[in-house]
Amino acid sequence: MNGTMNLFHSNVHRSIRHTAIYAWWMVFGLLTASPSVLAYDLWQAYQDAQQNDPTYLSSMAQKEVYDAQKSQARAVILPTVMVTGGAYKTRKQFWHNQLPDTRTKPANFAISLNQPIFALDKLTGYKQVSVNAQIGELKLAQAKQDLITRVVQTYFSAWLAEHNMQVAKDVLTAAERQYQMAQKNFEVGNTTVIDTHEAKTMWHNAQAALINAQSNLDNAKADLESMVGRAISEPLAGINAPLKLKMPVPDTAERWVERARELNYNVKIAQLGYQAADLERTRMAQQRLPQISIVASRKWNTSNYREINDERTATNTIGLELSMPIFDGGLIGGQVREAEAKKTISAQSLRATQISVAQNTRVAYNQAVSGLATISALESAQTAAKKSAASNLLGYQLGMRINVDVLNAQNTYAQAQYNLAQAQYNTILGNVHLKSAVGNLTDEDVQYINALLNPTQSETSAQSNPREIEKK
């Protein structure tokens, strides 16, 4: 009977102690909770990058270069009209026969036209530059895809670093508190010195981890700020939990590969590059052919304008001009061989691009699909690790767990948070790469991903806060 009563009182005592601990941490958590602030999100980063990213701005300028080259090439096959003219004053002096000086005011004016009617190399050159202009348009579209991909990658790299630093802060707080508890328990004889040393080791390791996390965050933030062209003082909008991403459609990697081979911008650019190289080889060979042009002109001459004895003439000319190289020292032959080699290079570049795009598409598809399953598993793992950390901490406080159990459980929970955040990052990036592979990555995709983020972010993450562990 006495044993039963002692067990009853012991259980009551533990229950009261558990309740008191819970209440203390609840109050402490409420008192120290940080207010939410408006976060810098992905859509803002994308808009800023469009205005400031040097790589993207350079691509826009390159498009203007291609357009200007097309205009130049078109001018070669169009008629050329030239106007020339001049008016002069002359003075003729006689030194020996003492004749009076002669002063005249001659003038001339001419207009001429040149229209190529048989110049195959120039026509082929225009076709070649037109193809290059199409390449410029595709490269600008690809630059837009690349910008979205780089913004998403850089933004979430910074967010991941920010998330990991917060976890490192929370781990340090928990480690310091555990070290203090171990010291107090050792002083009253409730634990061994080994517990104290273990807790101190974890505390110092947590300090080192926080320093490393801060360095990673500084570097990631610097990369993002370079892209968006501004300093970012706000916290970054984080991912809502759970991450609600859809399965890719179509639902097989090979169907995505088929679409990529047809729609991928890099493949299209490589195909046009081969076409341009073929035209270049043709143009070089056509330089051996004759060129025929229509020429016409009208010239006006006056011997002494504004004078009574002025003599005026007009001359009209019209005809055909022919030009053809007879001997060039092997110049054209060398240019043809060079163009032939460049054509071969373009063919191999196209083949390499097709292989690379197919492989990258498969990787992106697998990353997107497996990522969803990985996230689901890691969310469960994080929940379990969170409960385990809370249980082990309570067990230690009640004398039912040793210090190393608490330390291991806290490390497991921290690692679960790291793993989940990394999986979220990888999955989002996999979906972005997949859509980019088929040339279908748009502003709407940026907005869709941005909608998955928290519009506000507290200075202390509730998801990774160890105080939240102890409330469970």
Report the predicted TM-score, pTM, of the whole model to 2 decimal places.
0.76
Please say whether the beta carbons of 14 and 108 come within 8 A: no
Q: Tell me the sheet residues that pair with 71.
A: none
Indicate whether 275 pLDDT > 80.
yes
Q: Which pLDDT score is estimated for 13?
A: 39
Tens digit of each residue's pLDDT (9 = 90 or more) over 38-65: 889 999 999 999 999 998 999 888 888 8
Q: Which pLDDT score is estimated for 25?
A: 37
Reported confidence tier of residue 305, pLDDT bands at 50, 70, 90: low
Looking at beta carbons, which pairs linking 347-353 to residues 24 or more positions away fall under 8 Å?
347/274, 347/277, 349/270, 349/273, 349/274, 350/267, 350/270, 350/271, 350/273, 350/274, 353/266, 353/267, 353/270
In terms of Cα–Cα distance, which of 404, 389, 405 is closest to 195?
404
Could you give the CA distance from residue 201 to residue 457 in angstroms, rounded to a whole number?
32
Q: Which pLDDT score is estimated for 465?
A: 41
Q: Which pLDDT score is estimated for 28?
A: 33
Tens digit of each residue's pLDDT (9 = 90 or more) over 176-188: 888 888 888 888 8
Residues 6 or more apart in contact with residue 213 via CB below 8 angstroms: 161, 164, 165, 167, 168
Please say whether the beta carbons of 370 and 253 come within 8 A: no
Class of residue 38 by CB neighbours under 10 A (exposed 0-12, middle 13-18, buried 19+): exposed
Indicate whether 332 pLDDT > 70.
yes
What single-letter amino acid sits at 300?
W
Indicate whether 358 pLDDT > 70.
yes
> What are the tokens at 179?
């070290």
What is the rounded average pLDDT of the residues 137-154? 94
In terms of Cα–Cα distance, which of 294, 259, 281, 245 is closest to 118?
294
- Mean pLDDT of all residues belonging to the chain: 82
